[in-house]
């Protein structure tokens, strides 16, 4: 009884994440991804700059890229598939497969039902029409960014958790997951039915169900039912990246409810800029709404993969530019129209946000030599 209560109290404290800003020294250790975001040869991005229509070979290539990346470089991250099928207005009676991928890193001692997870999300499918559409900003780049972020915090997470055994870890049940969603795009025109196939359809309900079953079996084994009865509740913040990779983005703060999280990311950007650690030198920040007041929020937002989650009460930080970049949903949304400096700056901004959320100050390893300034990693690439 007592110990259970203690666990519960500690866990409740976790719900307000102990967000700790990185020191200037730690900020200088945040990697940019260097040439890995090169559209022609970059290890993270170039393999997925292909059409990725659900149920086609390009979609499978992207899935393999993600799974192989985690298996090879981040073996401590668990991999889960969430598979479903649906008909679409463009494909008649055919059941089109949709496959969401979830890569998860929890504290090693933690019981699954107790972990609050920072949830980093992008969609990897591309538009069905126009034929040959690539979707570089929509959303190959956001997916590649999330692989980079996971890789960039792994060593610090390991260092942090290695010293925290069972018991010491109380109050630290904070994990992180990367969710790569399929079927965001409409096949004909955007409607509630023709969109968000991956985020909306049975697959996520599937996890809810299986998690309940899991929680019940744990209860039966005397592990307690956990703090969170569903995967949905265990999402501490749903950070959705979309349409990133074009130059000069402007990302508004969309939601008063999560403006505090926006402020954290915008502050990270401001500090990185001030320290000369970002490559883009425009006067305008990517995240300009640092001073937005509660009465300035409108009801307007962009329909995207967060909607089914937000409707179920999940807190959302939507990192998507308004206005959309001019290449949006055109054949020009390809590798040639990306701005690598902007992508690498996003890589640092999002990695910093995650490192601060996960409390990694002082734990980041030295930069790889390719990342060091003046060693070939930071020149502006000609596209
Ligand atoms: C989901 O689909 C993938 C790719 O087709 C397959 O490898 C995996 O085994 C499937 N998983 C489940 C749980 O059905
Ligand atoms: Zn799109």
With cut-offs at 50, 70 and 90, classify the pLDDT of residue 373. low
Res 69: pLDDT: 98
List, in sequence order, the alpha helices (H) in the chain. Answer: 2-15, 24-27, 57-73, 141-162, 197-200, 202-220, 259-274, 307-310, 340-357
Residue 203, pLDDT score:
42
Transcribe 211-280 into DSSP letters: HHHHHHHHHHTTS---S-SSTTTTEEEEEEE-S--SSS-------GGGHHHHHHHHHHHHHHHHTT--S-
Q: Which atom of ligand 1 is nearest to the CA of 63?
A: 4
Domain boundaries, the chain: 2-371
> Has residue 330 got a pLDDT over 50?
yes
In this prediction, residue 167 has a pLDDT band, given cuts at 50, 70 and 90, of low
Residues 212-240 have pLDDT tens digits of 333 333 334 433 456 787 777 889 999 99
201 falls in which pLDDT band (50, 70, 90)? Answer: low
What mean pLDDT is reported for the chain? 86
**pLDDT reported for residue 234:** 87
What's 195's DSSP letter? S
Token pair of 104 as six digits: 């998860």
Query: Residue 336 — very low, low, confident or very high, per pLDDT cuts 50/70/90?
Result: very high
Query: Number of helices and strands (H, E) in the chain?
Result: 9, 6
Higher-pLDDT residue of 36, 200: 36
Specify the pLDDT at position 209. 39
**Choosing from 36, 154, 184, 334, which is the catalytic residue?**
184
Strand 96-105 versus strand 174-181 pairing type? antiparallel
- Residue 184 a catalytic site member: yes
Residue 165: the pLDDT is: 63
Instruction: Tell me the pLDDT band of 194, cut-offs 50, 70 and 90.
Output: confident
What is the structure's pLDDT at 2?
A: 32
333 alpha carbon, closest ligand: 2
The protein residue with its alpha carbon nearest to ligand 1, atom 2, reads 83
Ligand 1 atom at shortest distance from the alpha carbon of 83: 1
Mean pLDDT for 40-57 is 98
Q: Is 99 in the pocket of ligand 1 (CB under 6 A)?
A: yes
Residue 172: the pLDDT is 73
57 lines ligand 1 (CB under 6 A): no
Mean pLDDT of 165-186: 80
pLDDT at 212: 36
Q: Which residues contact 93 (CB under 8 A, 6 or more apart)?
A: 87
Spatial distance between the Cα atoms of 176 and 372, rounded to a whole number of angstroms: 27
**What is the separation of C-alpha 56 from the centre of its chain, rounded to a whole number of angstroms?**
24
Tell me if 82 CB under 6 Å of ligand 1.
no
Give the position of tokens 């690498």.
344
Q: Which residue has the higher pLDDT, 367 or 223?
A: 367
* Ligand 1 neighbourhood includes 83 CB (under 6 angstroms): yes
Query: pLDDT tens-digit profile of 52-88?
Result: 999 999 999 999 999 999 999 999 999 999 888 889 9
Which of 67, 83, 101, 202 is the pocket-test mutation for ligand 1 (most atoms within 8 Å of CB)? 83
Nearest residue (CA) to ligand 1, atom 13: 81
Task: Return the pLDDT at 17.
Answer: 56
Beta bridge partners of 336: none
3-state secondary structure of 319: strand
Instruction: Compare 146 and 372 and report the one with higher pLDDT.
Output: 146
Structure confidence at residue 375 as a pLDDT band (50, 70, 90): very low
Q: pTM of the predicted model, to two decimals?
A: 0.88
Which residue from 139, 101, 146 is spatially nearest to 304, judged by alpha carbons? 139
- State phi, psi for 258 to the nearest 5 degrees: -115, 20
SS3 category, 161: helix
Nearest ligand (C-alpha, residue 128): 2
Structure confidence by residue, pLDDT tens digits, 278-326: 999 877 999 999 999 888 888 777 888 888 888 878 899 999 999 999 9
CATH of domain 2-371: 3.40.630.10
């Amino acid at each position: 009884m007592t110990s259970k209560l203690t666990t519960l109290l500690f866990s409740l404290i976790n719900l307000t994440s102990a967000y700790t800003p990185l020191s200037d020294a730690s900020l200088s250790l945040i990697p940019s991804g260097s040439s890995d975001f090169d559209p022609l040869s970059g290890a993270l991005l170039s393999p997925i700059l292909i059409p990725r229509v659900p149920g086609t070979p390009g979609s499978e290539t992207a899935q393999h890229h993600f799974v192989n990346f985690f298996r090879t470089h981040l073996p401590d991250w668990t991999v889960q598939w969430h598979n479903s099928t649906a008909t679409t207005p463009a494909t008649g009676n055919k059941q089109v497969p949709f496959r969401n991928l979830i890569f998860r890193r929890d504290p090693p001692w933690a019981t699954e039902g107790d972990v609050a997870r920072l949830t980093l999300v992008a969609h990897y499918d591309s538009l069905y029409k126009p034929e040959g559409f690539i979707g570089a900003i929509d959303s190959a780049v956001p997916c590649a960014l999330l692989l980079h972020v996971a890789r960039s915090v792994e060593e610090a997470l390991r260092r942090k958790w290695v010293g925290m055994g069972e018991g010491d870890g109380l109050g630290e049940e904070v994990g992180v997951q990367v969710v790569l969603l399929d079927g965001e795009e409409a096949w004909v025109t955007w409607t509630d039915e023709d969109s968000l196939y991956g985020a909306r359809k049975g697959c996520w309900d599937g996890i809810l169900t299986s998690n309940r079953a899991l929680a019940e079996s744990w209860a039966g084994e005397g592990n307690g039912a956990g703090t969170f009865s569903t995967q949905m509740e265990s999402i501490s913040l749903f950070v959705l990246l979309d349409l990133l990779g074009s130059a000069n983005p402007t990302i508004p703060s969309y939601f008063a409810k999560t403006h505090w999280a926006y402020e954290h990311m915008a502050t990270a950007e401001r500090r990185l800029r001030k320290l000369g650690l970002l490559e883009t030198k425009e006067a305008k920040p990517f995240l300009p709404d640092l001073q937005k007041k509660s009465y300035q929020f409108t009801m307007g937002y962009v329909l995207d993969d967060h909607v089914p989650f937000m409707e179920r009460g999940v807190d959302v930080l939507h990192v998507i530019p308004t206005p959309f970049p001019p290449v949006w949903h055109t054949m020009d949304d390809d590798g040639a129209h990306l701005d690598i400096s902007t992508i690498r700056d996003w890589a640092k901004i999002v990695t910093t946000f995650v490192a601060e959320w996960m409390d990694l100050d002082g734990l980041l390893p030295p930069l790889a030599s390719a990342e060091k300034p003046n060693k070939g990693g930071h020149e502006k690439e000609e596209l």
